[in-house]
Amino acid sequence: MTEKNETTQSSVVRLHDLVESGTYDQIQSLMNVLKPPDIAHLLASSPSRQRTIIWNFFDEELQSEIISFVDEEIVPDLLGGKSAEEIVHVLEHVPADDDLTDILQQLPDALTQQVLQSMDAQDRARVETLLSYPEDTAGGLMDTDTISVRARVTIDVVIRYLRRHNELPKMTDNIFVVNAKDEFIGLLPITTLLVSDPAMTVREAMSKEIEPIAALLPENEVAGIFERYDLVSAPVVDDDGKLIGRITIDDVVDVIIDEADHSILGMAGLTEEEDAFAPILKTARGRAFWLGANLITAFIASAVINIFEETIAKVIALAILMPIVASMGGVAGSQTLTLVIRNMALGNLYESNQRWLLNRELAVGALNGIFWALVVAVVAAIIFQDYLLGVIIAIALAINLIVAALAGTLIPSILKSMGIDPAIAGTVVLTTVTDVVGFMSFLGLASIFYA
């Protein structure tokens, strides 16, 4: 960690202590040490009550700088108590349109409409255009702040045009080339612009290698395009091919982080909107649904066990060993499930290669099933002095690992086709399958062999 980062971190810790102790007269001087991104980090790592206290220390102009860096899930805590006019004053200095729309989407619909009505006509029209696209598409990610030129003008004209700007939009690595109908036709890289003959036309210097991004393209596919072609920015077009905005790499990094958060938290039945410092009741309500779903699956597994109550009563060792079968299947299935969900998120999984992946996972499940079945069979036979018990658990374990591979591969696609998020629901469904199959195969075989 650099000395600068250590200073920032110590300032954040010190500020937390001052807020907690109520020593507010020292807070203002400490605020001057922190930059807007640091203050946004401080707000995200503070409980709800402290956020309000810290936030109210800043005037509206500084709040405008900070709000662009704030995590979306805490926006309602910061702006929810303000009137529409006050929110407009905070948002009028937000530099990027995509940041502005991200903030508005976190507010209640009624308040969002009031804020839009309080904006001037030009700003409102621009923001409403962005809000018309789903937030998880290229249109929802884009910024309308673009620079475009016509193909017929010379490089000299373009340079003189750029010099008329006080500053260029951040991360401007390309000038977009459009025709008379504002349809995108190519890119003029800044590097090419600087070394080209001033008398050369834009048409002669521009590149057509990069295709524009459709406004309704899902954001995970946008991230894939940026990763594949090492882009810093890319043009966004509507259905008619007209240039309507651009996406920059900082927006894509946010998408990548959100996708990672979604996958990690989804495995625990949480969403990426989960606020670590949210109030107790709000957090409890958010988690209750998947706890209830998990309870239902537990009852299903218990019902399967209850079917074989008499068999378990005769052979007590079955009760000791049956969690091994279910647990091994759960772990094997989770490995496959995680792999499939990750490749779905990256856009690497298609109908053409899914069958190959299924066959591969079944083969891996079979190999691991046979190997660990032999290991467990030997251990169980030695401990319980019952070779038949070893054979039963070996067969059941092999069956469950193969079924786990099958379920882990197919469940994400099935859930996605039903409109259910695989990252959140996949683990619950997989656990049910591996528990039921594991208990059913182990106890069912025991009932047959010991009959």
15 burial level (CB within 10 Å; 0-12, 13-18, 19+): buried
**241 pLDDT higher than 90:** yes
Q: How confident is the model at residue 8 (pLDDT cuts 50, 70, 90)?
A: low
**DSSP code, position 207:** B
Region 42-58 average pLDDT: 79
**259 pLDDT higher than 80:** no
Which of 116-130, 200-214, 236-250 has the least mean pLDDT?
A: 116-130
Q: Checking DSSP bridges between strand 233-237 and strand 213-214, what pairing results, if any? A: parallel
Please tell me the pTM assigned to this model: 0.69
DSSP reduced 3-state for 46: coil
Region 156-180 average pLDDT: 93
User: What's the token pair of residue 270?
Assistant: 């949480």
Q: How far apart are CA 6 and CA 13, in angstroms?
A: 11
Region 281-286 average pLDDT: 71
Triad 13, 15, 21: Cα angle to 5°: 105
> Which of 21-25, 36-40, 120-124, 414-418 is predicted most confidently?
414-418
The Cα-based distances of 111 to 80, 134, 170 in angstroms read 9, 19, 30
**Residues recorded for the chain:** 451
Between residues 206 and 19, the one the model is more confident about? 206
Instruction: Please say whether the beta carbons of 398 and 364 come within 8 A.
Output: no
Which of 15-29, 175-189, 357-371, 379-393 has the least mean pLDDT?
A: 15-29
Q: How confident is the model at residue 265 (pLDDT cuts 50, 70, 90)?
A: low
Residue type, 394: A
Q: How confident is the model at residue 159 (pLDDT cuts 50, 70, 90)?
A: very high
Ordered structural domains, the chain, with CATH: 3-132 (1.25.60.10), 148-248 (3.10.580.10), 280-449 (1.10.357.20)
| pLDDT score recorded for residue 1 | 46
Region 140-157 average pLDDT: 93
Q: How confident is the model at residue 271 (pLDDT cuts 50, 70, 90)?
A: low
| pLDDT score recorded for residue 402 | 95
Q: How confident is the model at residue 237 (pLDDT cuts 50, 70, 90)?
A: very high
**179 pLDDT higher than 60:** yes
Triad 406, 407, 412: Cα angle to 5°: 120
pLDDT, one tens digit per residue, over 180-203 is 999 999 999 999 999 999 999 999
Q: What does the mean pLDDT of the chain come to?
A: 85
**275 pLDDT higher than 80:** no
Residue in this structure with the two tokens 């594949």, named with its chain if needed: 228
Instruction: Please say whether the beta carbons of 38 and 8 come within 8 A.
Output: yes
Instruction: Please say whether the beta carbons of 179 and 240 come within 8 A.
Output: no
Instruction: Please say whether the beta carbons of 287 and 422 come within 8 A.
Output: no
Q: How confident is the model at residue 170 (pLDDT cuts 50, 70, 90)?
A: confident
Which of 172-176, 284-288, 401-405 has the least mean pLDDT?
A: 284-288
Q: How far apart are CA 9 and CA 15, in angstroms?
A: 10
Q: How confident is the model at residue 444 (pLDDT cuts 50, 70, 90)?
A: very high
| pLDDT score recorded for residue 151 | 95
| pLDDT score recorded for residue 278 | 67
Neighbours of 103 (CB within 10 A): 22
